[in-house]
Amino acid sequence: MTRTHCPYCALQCAMHLEPDPSGNLAVRPAQFPTNRGGLCRKGWTAAELLTTPERLTTPLLRTDTSSEFQPVDWDTALDHVARRMAQLRRFHGPDAVSVFGSGGLTNEKSYLLGKFARLALGTSQIDYNGRFCMSSAAAAGNRAFGLDRGMPFPLSDLGGAEVVLLAGANPAATMPPMMGHLTAPTLIVVDPRRSATAEQALARGGMHLAPRPGTDLALALGLLHVARVENLLDEDYIAERTTGFSEAWRHVAAWWPHRVEQLTGVPAADIHAAARLLGQAGSRYILTGRGCEQHSSGVDTVSAWINLALALGLPGRVGSGYGCITGQGNGQGGREHGQKADQLPGYRRIDDPEARDRVATAWGVDAGELPGPGRSAFELLDALGQDQGPRAMWLLGSNPAVSAPDAVRVRRRLAELDLFVVSDFVFSESCEYAHVVLPVAQWAEERGTMTNLEGRVLRRNQAVNPPAGVRTDLEVIRELAVRLGQPAERFPSEADAVLTELGAVTRGAPADYSGISARLAYRDGGRSTAGPSSGGPVAQPASYVAAEDAASVESTGEVASPDTGNELYWPAPVDGSGTPRLFLDSFAHPDGRARFLPVEHRPAAEAASPTFPLLATTGRVLGHYQSGAQTRRVPELAAADPETVVEMHPDTAARSGLRSGDQARVTSARGTTLARVRITAHSRRDTVFLPFHFAGAGAANNLTNPALDPTSRMPEFKVSAVRLEPVPADEGKDSPDE
């Protein structure tokens, strides 16, 4: 039996993996502070993907994308990739080769990939899918607090809350076990839809505020306005722990509730009631998710929510707080260790001369050899194959053919590359545009560390050996680096060695992991060699138990206490302890104070018009993960949610001549999505909702607008102007992709 963590979201629920009589791994939930013995249905079925018949087990190669893939051996594939990368670099310069990573990659992979890009390729062109995910809240957190750690407190702190306001987050569907922490008697959910979380809030006597998509900023200003007028602000806290309130207030003063109602559609009476509930409670939290962030005004919108939290005196206290709910499994760690265009490991900036010196010295190179900042994710994808843009890309842990905004355009760009290499364990939709596909190991077949939504670093253990023919991402990075002329010792392929190096390199940095690498180090010294080489179980010596669990492991192997591992929250300097709660004494700005940001509402890039009279917003359903490349291959999940649905109010459906179960064509200025109509009685009449987990004609991202936030460069996934039309029954079965 191996104790490890789920391959999917940032909650990183713990699980046990145990071989069943047929030799497959069975999942059992395990105790951990985030999931407390619970799992969602994606977690329960996660092991099925290890043995899917669709598993890639041999490298695939073709020289041009009009020909068929040929299975080849690893040396042939890697030699080809290295040779082509070197060629393109010689002809077009180092920025001709780009890398696209992921918040799903372990800390070790994120770190080594960033190092590979900067040293082996010498390219500035590396970014990752986290740009689509939490970059707006990260930027807003940095501006306000001087440091971005999504939740600066343990999730279990929420248990004592009287009121929790959740803006643009639907954890009942996206992180179900988290609802075990959201036990506050009053939940206030801000979401244009009556989401599963909003339903739960109402069932408990809480509130659901349903603003028009893209108007949260005004709503947050309105709530702050009421809170001040009703004397609910924490004036002492504002004076002692913050700066900039009066300037920020100048933008709030004009947002009286009736004006906010006109813009957002949230009744003024509800704004008053919500402000009072939040303002008068003892212990309260404000949490934000992607619904606030995935806008061209995402950073300012999150800042507006943070302003409200600061004015009420919540951040940096025990029993109250502000937090952003990180999304991907390693969404937090993945944004700290250098796979971001502007970043070096440990949250250092690539344009900071001192940081460059520190990292270059640690890597044994001259700081002048490190490239500068590169393009952000969408800008990078949009530049592929274009004038001055990269000619080659290596993709790991993302499926932008489905998940990027304006995906029709992004697919066209992928097709224009001279060299497109994808590392994956299944043939994702992005592989259809590739020249080389490299089959890699999955979560239970390797080890590595993840940093969950609380900033808690945890270890995934290896339960089985990878199938024959499959290599780990770390092995592939090393093999390519060596072929590109790097010394082998610069690119270790054992997770433990990479973690040790990451710890040393981040020492003294904002995200200091130097203490964590020591505490999480494997005690058997290396990769296990036990077990057969094709998916067989790996024997787990007792010493595999992570330090975080060791203290409370009973003879049954269960963790007794749910609240262990406090020393594993970063920053965790090697000579100090971890930091479960940040900002209790001071914020991370030099003056120790948090900053109010003077933010003003601005409309979404696209408004409804006579041609596109409705707004479409997008997000998730419980049963599928992201681009769906993984969960659409799990039979139980695919059967439960087989296709794209478009949720809408009955009146909206009627106006478009649609009924429940009809096939609808949803069209924006960029493209078309085919979706099954689902009637939801409590929706806004001006807004429809589509999940983005499906490919081809059902891809919601055929519609979405790549308008970017000016600071975070996050795309506006949450607002597109669209129209609806019925699709005759005989059409739509084999509609073209684009």
Ligand X SMILES: Nc1nc2c(c(=O)[nH]1)N[C@H]1C(S)=C(S)[C@@H](COP(=O)(O)OP(=O)(O)OC[C@H]3O[C@@H](n4cnc5c(=O)[nH]c(N)nc54)[C@H](O)[C@@H]3O)O[C@H]1N2
- Give the footprint of Mo ion on this chain (CB under 5 A): 133, 327-328
Three state DSSP letters for 562-621: CCCCHHHECCCCCCCCCCCCCCCCCCCCCCCCEECCCCCCCCCCCCCCCCCCEEEEEECC
Q: How many CB atoms lie within 10 A of CB 405?
A: 30
Q: Does residue 699 touch ligand X according to CB under 6 A?
A: no
Q: What character string, x for contact with ligand X (CB under 6 A) and - otherwise, covers 461-500?
A: ------------x---------------------------
Find residue 450's DSSP bridge partners: 458
Residue 415 in tokens: 């097709």
Quick check: 117 and 370 in contact, CB under 8 A?
A: no
The minimum distance between CB 386 and ligand X, in angstroms, equals 21
Q: Is 265 in the site for ligand X (CB under 6 A)?
A: no
| Closest CA relative to residue 27, chosen from 54, 7, 53, 56 | 7
Residue 630 interface partner, choices Mo ion, ligand SF4, ligand X, none, CB cut-off 5-8 Å depending on type: ligand X
Q: Provide the sign of the torsion angle of the four alpha carbons 655, 659, 665, 668, taken in this order.
A: positive
CB–CB of 141/324 below 8 Å? yes
How many chain residues interact with ligand SF4 (CB under 6 A)? 14
Which residues lie across from 614 on neighbouring strands?
A: 722
Widest CA span in the chain:
71
Site string for ligand SF4, 143-182 (x = CB under 6 A): --------------------------------xxx-----
* Partner from Mo ion, ligand SF4, ligand X, none contacting 214, C-beta within 5 to 8 A by type: ligand X
Between 174 and 320, name the residue whose CB sits nearer to ligand SF4. Answer: 174
Look at residue 381 and give the partner it binds from ligand X, Mo ion, ligand SF4, none, a contact being a CB closer than 5 to 8 Å depending on partner kind.
none
Going by C-beta distance under 8 Å and a sequence separation of 6 or more, which residues neighbour residue 85? 97, 121, 392, 419, 480, 484
> Which one of ligand X, ligand SF4, Mo ion, none interacts with residue 283, CB within 5 to 8 A by kind?
none
Output 192 or 578, the one with its CB closest to ligand X: 192
Q: Which residue in 17, 25, 30, 40 binds ligand SF4 (CB under 6 A)?
A: 40
9: contact with ligand SF4 by CB under 6 A: yes
Binding flags for ligand SF4, 191-220, as an x/- string (CB under 6 A): ------------------------------
Q: What is the DSSP letter of 466?
A: P
Coil vs helix vs strand at 545: coil
- Of these partners, ligand SF4, ligand X, Mo ion, none, which one is at the site of residue 129 (CB under 5 to 8 Å by kind)? ligand X
- Beta carbon nearer to Mo ion, 106 or 328: 328
Helix (H, G, I), strand (E, B) or coil at 419: strand
| 3 state SS for 70-105 | EECCHHHHHHHHHHHHHHHHHHHCHHHEEEEECCCC
- What SS3 state is found at 288? strand
| Closest to 213 in 3D by CA, of 251, 167, 176, 171 | 167
Q: 154 vs 331, which CB is nearer to Mo ion? A: 331
Whether the ω angle into residue 177 lies within 30 degrees of 0, i.e. cis, is: no
Determine, following the binding rule CB under 6 A, whether residue 107 of this chain makes contact with ligand X: no
Q: CA 188, CA 198: separation in Å to the nearest integer?
A: 8
Residue 339 interacting entry, from ligand SF4, Mo ion, ligand X, none, C-beta within 5 to 8 Å by type = none
Residues 505-534 that bind ligand X (CB under 6 A): none
- Candidates 578, 563, 552, 620; CA nearest to 34 is 563
Angle at 288 between CA 285 and CA 290, to 5 degrees: 165
For ligand SF4, which residue of 6, 112, 499, 621 counts as binding (CB under 6 A)? 6
Rounded CA gap, 332 and 605, in Å? 28
Piece in contact with ligand X (CB under 6 A), picked from 100-108, 144-152, 506-514, 586-594: 100-108
User: What SS3 state is found at 119?
Assistant: helix
CB of 286 vs ligand SF4, minimal distance in Å = 22
- Choose among Mo ion, ligand X, ligand SF4, none what residue 177 binds, the Cβ cut-off being 5 to 8 Å by kind: ligand SF4
* Nearest-approach distance from CB 87 to ligand X, in angstroms: 24
* 302 sits near ligand SF4 (criterion: CB under 6 A): no
Report the relative pairing of strands 720-726 and 663-667 from DSSP bridges: antiparallel
Query: Residue 32's closest CA among 11, 46, 10?
Result: 11
- Given the complex with ligand X, which of 517 and 626 has the nearer CB atom? 626
Residue 30 is a binding residue for ligand SF4 (CB under 6 A):
no
For residue 489, the tally of other CB atoms under 10 A from its CB is 9
- Minimum distance from residue 125 beta carbon to Mo ion (Å): 22
The C-alpha atoms of residue 78 and residue 619 are separated, in whole angstroms, by: 37
Q: Which residue is nearest to ligand SF4 (CB)?
A: 43
* Contact pick of 32, 44, 116, 132 for ligand X (by CB under 6 A): 132
Interacting residue with ligand X among 33, 291, 338, 578 (CB under 6 A)? 291
Tell me how long the chain is: 738
Give the gyration radius of the chain's Cα atoms: 25
192 near ligand X, rule: CB under 6 A? yes
Check residue 617 for interaction with ligand X (CB under 6 A).
Answer: yes
Q: How far out from the chain centre does Cα 685 lie? A: 30
Report, in Å, the least distance between residue 291 CB and ligand SF4: 18
- Cα four-point dihedral sign 199, 202, 206, 211: positive
Of these partners, Mo ion, ligand X, ligand SF4, none, which one is at the site of residue 125 (CB under 5 to 8 Å by kind)? none
Binding of residue 717 to ligand X (CB under 6 A): yes
Q: Binding pattern to ligand SF4, positions 659-678, x when CB under 6 A? A: --------------------
Nearer to ligand X, 358 or 460 (CB): 460
Structure-token pair, residue 710 = 């000016």
Mutual orientation of helices 216-229 and 268-280 as an angle, nearest 10°? 60
**Closer by beta carbon to ligand SF4, 13 or else 155:** 13
For residue 259, report the phi and psi dihedrals to the nearest 5 degrees: -70, -40
Identified binder of ligand X from the candidate list 629, 646, 658, 677, rule CB under 6 A: 629
Judged by beta carbon, residue 294 or residue 663, the one nearer Mo ion is 294
Closest CA to 666 of 684, 632, 692: 692
Beta carbons of 83 and 484 less than 8 angstroms apart: no
Among ligand SF4, Mo ion, ligand X, none, what does residue 135 contact (CB within 5–8 Å per kind)? none
**Which position's Cβ is nearest ligand X?**
327
| Near ligand X in 372-401, by CB under 6 A | 396-399
Handedness of CA 704, 709, 712, 718 (dihedral sign): negative
Binders of ligand X: how many residues, by CB under 6 A? 62
313 counts as binding ligand SF4 under rule CB under 6 A: no
| 39 is an interface residue for ligand SF4 by CB under 6 A | yes
Q: Which stretch binds ligand X (CB under 6 A): 71-79, 209-217, 531-539, 588-596?
A: 209-217
From ligand X, Mo ion, ligand SF4, none, interface partner of 376 (C-beta below 5 to 8 A by class)? none
Binding-site ranges for ligand X (CB under 6 A): 9, 102-105, 129, 132-133, 167-171, 173-175, 190-193, 195, 211, 213-214, 216, 289-292, 294, 327-328, 396-399, 403, 423-426, 428, 440, 473, 617-620, 622, 624-627, 629-630, 689, 692, 700-701, 704, 717-718
Binding-site ranges for ligand SF4 (CB under 6 A): 6, 8-9, 11-13, 35, 39-40, 42-43, 175-177
